[in-house]
Amino acid sequence: MNEGENRMKLSSAVFAVTFVLALTAWFILGPLSSSMAAEQAPGRTMAQQATKDAELWITTDHSKHEVLQQTFTSGPQVTRACVSCHSEAETQFHKTIHWTWKAGENEKGVQMGKAAYSLNNFCISANKDQDKGCYSCHPGWGSKTEATNCLVCHGKKEIKWEESFEDYNAFLEESEEDPDLKELADEIQSEIQAAVQAVTRPTRQNCGSCHFYGGGGDGVKHGDLDSSMTNPNKALDVHMGLDGQNFDCVRCHTTELHNISGRIYTAPAYTHRKSLIEDDLTSKITCESCHSSTPHQPGSKANDHTDKVACQSCHIPTFARVNPTKMSWDWSTSGKTKDGKPYKNMGAYGKHDYLTIKGSMKWEKNLIPEYFWFNGSIQSLTAADTIDPSGTVALSYPLGDMHDKNSRIFPFKVHRGVQPYDKINKTLLTPLLSGPNGYWKHLDWQKGLALGAKSLDLPFSGEFDFVKTTYVYPTTHMVAPKDNVVACTECHIRGESRMANLAGFYMPGRDHWALLDGLGWIMVLGALAGVTLHGLGRIFTKKGNGGKKGGE
Amino acid sequence: MEGNLNNIYLYTRYERFWHWLQMVFIGILLVTGFEVHGLFTWLGFETAVTVHNTVGLSWLIAFAFFVFWMFTTGEWKQYVPTTKKMLSVIRYYSWGIFQGETHPFPKRKEAKHNPLQRLVYLSLAAFLLPFQMITGLLYWGYNQWPAWGLDFLSLKWIGILHMFGAINILTFIVMHVYMTTTGHSLSAHVKAMITGWEGVEEGVKIESWEKAERS
């Protein structure tokens, strides 16, 4: 070898070594740098900063206010005491949906809301306030609407107000004859006063006293809200968990003039996705508010998903993780009796799967949500809408589609029902259930349905049948710790993908073009067969490597 | 087998290094790519995606070095397609090889590839591999499409094209690996790609300047 050749070999060796070193550095430092960059995801750090100092200071001790030390004999008297200082509170509150149960008109001019024409596939309708059973969740005193019971949301102590006032007044009256009863009356009064003076900002307990029990029982309606959320652990909900952030509902459901942020029927919970960095006065109702829209480690593929996939889709792997939730309700089987009497049958999870007054129902736990494109609005039918009873009727369904940049793939609980409809008018029917004339009393559909239609001033032909319906709840609570997220392959997989029902786009791992794959493998196998035959030919002619060069 | 082979230094160190590096890259890309495509589970989807992306981008960068090498060394001339002797090469592989004929186009330093190889390697290096890199890069950059002004693209079609490329590459590999066995011994061509030295039958004229200039 001459000198020039040596020099060239040397320089090419140096080049190769440098190249290999650079590649090694790229392979090792690439993944390492992102894991070293921050110990936790930036979105988490941001959220922690946005919500630190959650301990708010207060300037008043309600037990020291004389007006709250008076003798209370009725609910409205308590309200008057509250508004003697908080002069505008009740006026504000009376304009909110929590009081009116009305959600404005839909695009057809039909009034929405529990106190209007909205319906579901649970107890179907509140019959414009005529179904008094629903009023256990109205924030007045008992079923009356003359004054607000501020303490439903602001009371730290849970007491039975109606009963306490009744007992107090009765004992006081009777104590004129039996002085011993005065002591009992005083005891009740001091309980009432203690409850009146124990004022708080709304806690999970307050909101939960209605929202965990919607539909007439624990966990009936929402799959992600039930009594397990009063004192959840972090595994159930990272935000509200006692060993997590211990948030109250209002930490995210921020309020303005007693209007509490959140979705109201079709009205979305938010119209703009903004983080607190972009707008420090924005509501905290979205995940993005605190976590930003790219919360994961820089370079993480998860950040690339946030434009199409809602945070909830991955971070709430299942709902109803502790308590069961009702998944279906078939009204058509109601009315059966045993020995001429109504009965109940106990099913799984200690929940009834049949009640004479309600029909058949299914309870389930730890459920995988169904996924739909969702822009934040839910379209719902009203009792005034006509339906097509030949198929399943969607009483409510998420709005949004894959081409809308404000839509995301979002997880839902879908409650399936079978409920009465008018065969002639093609409308859903709204039976009156509770009360002396309600269906639950007499089990006569004709009567219950007629009274129900009358309560809403809607026609009823007298001919009815049952139709299958669906009703959706967005799943947004019960956010699991980061180790318990939905794995890539639960969606990016052939056949059993969580998103198998979402069509119209290509998802790696889930989708393939069978024709191409088929032809492709034929080509590869054809090549294999070809070279095998060629090789066999060479072996049999025994001339395959007969001193030839070239080729390859 | 028969006697006198002249060893010529056919493949430079960089060329050999590049060949085997690319083999490793393509091998990893095919396996992880098919896993992402949903054909089997091995590394797990997430790891497969990460490995595929990292190796894919590395390949892209390394390929730039190869292109640079091609043009600075003038090696690109080895890939200029020609129809001369093409038929005789095809005839050799489909007939002559079974008759014990010699290859109609012995390797030489300034003409390493026979006309068939020229065409195949040109298709590969100039079309199929860049095609695979471009579709792969687009696939990888899916989230940047609007920023790149490419929102008219469809992920479905990019996915299909990328898979199409992968199948073609796999088909090439099947043939390519088989063809390595057609040298003067089963492993002669593979050895040449490792050591750089290929035995060329005596009697083939190798110019003296050619020997001197090898590197």
ipTM for the assembly = 0.85
Give CA A115 to chain center in angstroms: 22
| A523 to B142: CB separation less than 8 angstroms, yes or no | no
Cβ pair A174, A181 in contact under 8 A: yes
Measured between beta carbons, which residues in chain B are less than 8 angstroms from residue A34?
A: none
* Token pair belonging to A206: 């307050």
* Token pair belonging to A366: 């730890």
* Token pair belonging to A314: 């991955």
Q: How many CA atoms lie within 13 A of B8 on its CB side?
A: 24
Q: What pLDDT digit, counting tens, does each position of B73-104 carry?
A: 888 888 888 777 788 888 888 888 888 887 87
Question: Which of B65, B97, B214 has its CB closest to that of A544?
Answer: B97
| B92 to A551: CB separation less than 8 angstroms, yes or no | yes
* Token pair belonging to A78: 């308590």
Whole-number mean pLDDT of chain B? 85
How many CB contacts within 8 angstroms connect chain A with chain B?
176
Neighbours of B187 (CB within 10 A): 12
Round to the nearest angstrom and report the end-to-end CA distance of chain B: 28
Q: CA dist A1 to A4, A5, A548, B186, Å? A: 8, 6, 28, 29
Question: Which of B36, B98, B200 has its CB closest to that of A543?
Answer: B98
Domain range summary for chain B, segments of one domain joined by +: 5-213
Closest-CA distance of chain A to residue B154, Å: 8
Cβ pair A382, A119 in contact under 8 A: yes
Instruction: Give the model's pLDDT for residue A13.
Output: 67
Largest CA-CA distance found in chain A, in angstroms, rounded: 129
| DSSP string for A270-324 | -SS---TTT-TTS-S-SHHHHH-S--S-TT-HHHHHTTTB-HHHHH---B-SSS-
Q: Nearest chain B residue to A520 by CA: give it.
A: B167
User: Judged by CB atoms within 8 Å, which residues 45-104 of B form the interface with A?
Assistant: 45-46, 49-50, 54, 58, 61-62, 65, 89, 92-93, 97-104
Question: Which of B106, B164, B186 has its CB closest to that of A550?
Answer: B106
- Reported as type and span, the H/E element at residue A224 is none
Q: Nearest chain A residue to B185 by CA: give it.
A: A545
φ, ψ of residue A238 to 5 degrees: the values are -65, -30
Q: CA dist A522 to A515, A526, A527, B29, B206, Å? A: 11, 6, 8, 21, 43
Measured between beta carbons, which residues in chain B are less than 8 angstroms from residue A541?
A: 98-100
User: Judged by CB atoms within 8 Å, which residues 137-196 of B form the interface with A?
Assistant: 142-143, 154-156, 159-160, 163-164, 167-168, 170-171, 174-176, 178-186, 188-189
| A549 to B49: CB separation less than 8 angstroms, yes or no | no
- Averaged pLDDT, A267-289: 85
Ramachandran region, residue A424 (left: φ > 0; alpha: ψ -120 to 50; beta: rest): alpha
- Reported as type and span, the H/E element at residue A95 is none
Instruction: Give the model's pLDDT for residue A360.
Output: 97
Residue A26 has pLDDT above 80, yes or no: no
| A528 to B181: CB separation less than 8 angstroms, yes or no | no
Question: Which of A301, A489, A549 has its CB closest to that of B200?
Answer: A549
Interface membership of B132 toward A (CB under 8 Å): no
Domain B5-213 classification at class level? mainly alpha
Residue A39 has pLDDT above 80, yes or no: no
Contacts of A483 (CB under 8 A, 6+ apart): none
Question: Which of B12, B46, B185 has its CB closest to that of A488?
Answer: B46
| B143 to A307: CB separation less than 8 angstroms, yes or no | yes
Instruction: Give the model's pLDDT for residue B23.
Output: 95
Q: How confident is the model at residue A300 (pLDDT cuts 50, 70, 90)?
A: confident
Residue A209 has pLDDT above 60, yes or no: yes
Instruction: Give the model's pLDDT for residue B94.
Output: 83
Domain range summary for chain A, segments of one domain joined by +: 314-490
**B94, exposed or middle or buried, with CB in 10 Å at 0-12, 13-18, 19+?**
exposed
3-state secondary structure of A118: strand
Q: CA dist A384 to A350, A397, A428, A455, Å? A: 37, 17, 8, 13
* Token pair belonging to A374: 């969702």
Q: Pick the residue of B47, B170, B182, B194 with the most A CBs within 10 A to test the interface with A by mutation.
A: B182
Measured between beta carbons, which residues in chain B are less than 8 angstroms from residue A494?
A: 38
Measured between beta carbons, which residues in chain B are less than 8 angstroms from residue A15?
A: 14
Residue B112 has pLDDT above 80, yes or no: no
Instruction: Give the model's pLDDT for residue B209.
Output: 37
Q: What pLDDT digit, counting tens, does each position of A374-385 carry?
A: 999 999 999 999
**Sole residue written with tokens 């909101």:** A207
Q: What pLDDT digit, counting tens, does each position of A318-349 carry?
A: 999 999 999 999 999 999 999 999 999 999 99
- Averaged pLDDT, A27-55: 70
Q: What pLDDT digit, counting tens, does each position of B113-144 carry?
A: 778 888 888 899 889 999 999 999 999 999 99
Q: Model pTM? A: 0.87
- Averaged pLDDT, B49-65: 94
| A544 to B159: CB separation less than 8 angstroms, yes or no | no
Q: How confident is the model at residue A10 (pLDDT cuts 50, 70, 90)?
A: low
